[in-house]
Amino acid sequence: MASMAQWVWPAVRALRLWGPGGERAWARRPRIAGRRTPVPFSAGVSSIFGSGGSSEKEKLFLQDIAELIQARACQRVVVMVGAGISTPSGIPDFRSPGTGFYSSFQHADVPYPEAIFELSFFLHNPRPFCTWAKEMYPGNYRPNIIHYFLRLLHDKGLLLRLYTQNIDGLERVSGIPGSKLVEAHGSFASATCTVCRRASPMEDFWAAVMGDRVPSCAVCTGVVKPDVVFFGEALPQRFLLHVVDFPTADLLLILGTSLQVEPFASLSEAVRSSVPRVFMNQEAVGPLSWRPRSRDVLQLGDLVDSVERLVELLGWSEELKDLVQRETGKLSGQDR
């Protein structure tokens, strides 16, 4: 068996080109189409774990992934998610032309849409960000079936870690514990003064934002910023868990991310080459498009449909339905 050092090196190598804050990367390729008849389960297992025979690797399909999970051949699942998992909850993504958040800021008081997430611009003019943050007020949006599928993975003891680019906090609302989460771009769970660096109560932050005021520190009157990672800022310390998680994973699920923001995007390359990667998205993007592996599964199209298809193949449809009803009922009770 390979040593831990051998497993960790690919993860470190994949991220060595980027600093802690990362840079934006733009990688987009045409959608990949075409299907084959799924290979038998035995072929799928041998292609992943080795059969001692030919080095030719069998192509995997979603059915094979479901059978591997059912057989407990994959028990350490790492998940990467982006804005696409929250759009079914009504939260726009960032880059979709005409409907994304960035499109809504094209005529606002910003030099370019991404500026609302740049620290230097925020310190100069925090109001555009505060206007956007008002939309993210807790309770405005609720988890959807994708979040609850990930919660079900956790409930079944299969979720090693969930790495999310989202700052909406819906993973937590769905019931996934913080110990299983790496919120790579921070969240609205806490806030800090940009001057004295003291923690600021979130209720004070939201009271100011909902009242169309700039949140200010009660101690030094400095501008208060939620602990969302802006461009140029260091990622949270928990992000370093990738050094251990990805080399030990036996399945990688990538859902609803454009794989355009580094260093998060390069995590898709950090699992061992023998590990299946399942990519569910509207279109093929990033390394899974231009440098696919033989054990990659691309499920392109509507994300909810893709997740429901996997759930059906796993035989979890009724369990997921019951979970959604139970958790939705709890949230409705909290609103009364």
CATH code where residue 213 lies:
3.30.1600.10
pLDDT(303) > 80: yes
What 3 state SS string does 37-66 have?
Answer: CCCCHHHHHHHHHCCCCCCCCCCCCHHHHH
Average pLDDT, the chain: 82
Q: Which residues are annotated as a binding site for NAD(+)?
A: 83-87, 93-95, 165-168, 257-258, 281-283
Is a pLDDT exceeding 50 seen at residue 257? yes
Residues 313 and 165 in one domain: yes
Cα 41 → chain centroid: 29
115, part of any domain: yes
Going by pLDDT thresholds of 50, 70 and 90, the confidence category of residue 304 is very high
In the annotation, is 185 catalytic? yes
What pLDDT shows up at residue 35? Answer: 33
Domain total of the chain: 2
Which helix H or strand E contains 99, and what residues bound it? none
Task: Give the range among 53-62, 146-155, 285-294, 312-321 with minimum mean pLDDT.
Answer: 53-62
In the chain, the percentage of residues whose pLDDT exceeds 90 is: 62
Identified catalytic residue from 147, 154, 185, 242: 185
Say if residue 273 is in the same domain as residue 296: yes
Q: Do 252 and 128 share a structural domain?
A: no
Sequence letter at residue 308:
E
Q: Is residue 29's pLDDT more than 90?
A: no
Q: How confident is the model at residue 48 (pLDDT cuts 50, 70, 90)?
A: very low
Binding residue numbers: 83-87, 93-95, 165-168, 193, 196, 217, 220, 257-258, 281-283
- Is 285 inside any structural domain? yes
- 243/223 same-domain check: no
From CA 151, how far away is CA 278, in angstroms rounded?
18
pLDDT digits (tens, 9 = 90+) for 105-154: 555 678 888 888 999 999 999 999 998 899 888 888 999 999 999 999 99
Question: Does 82 share its domain with 215?
Answer: no
Of 310, 278, 281, 309, which is closest to residue 296 (Cα–Cα)? 278
More confident residue, 59 or 102: 59
Across 189-210, average pLDDT = 96
Q: Within a domain: residue 17? A: no
At 156-172, the pLDDT tens digits run 999 999 999 999 999 99
**Binding site feature residues for Zn(2+):** 193, 196, 217, 220
- Strand 277-281 and strand 224-228: pairing? unpaired
Specify whether 198 is located in the same domain as 66: no
Whole-angstrom CA distances from 237 to 21, 182, 293 are: 11, 9, 30
Q: Which domain holds residue 128?
A: 92-140+186-228
317 part of a folded domain? yes
In this structure, the answer to whether residues 220 and 319 fall within a common structural domain is no
- What gap in Å lies between CA 317 and CA 313, rounded to an integer? 9
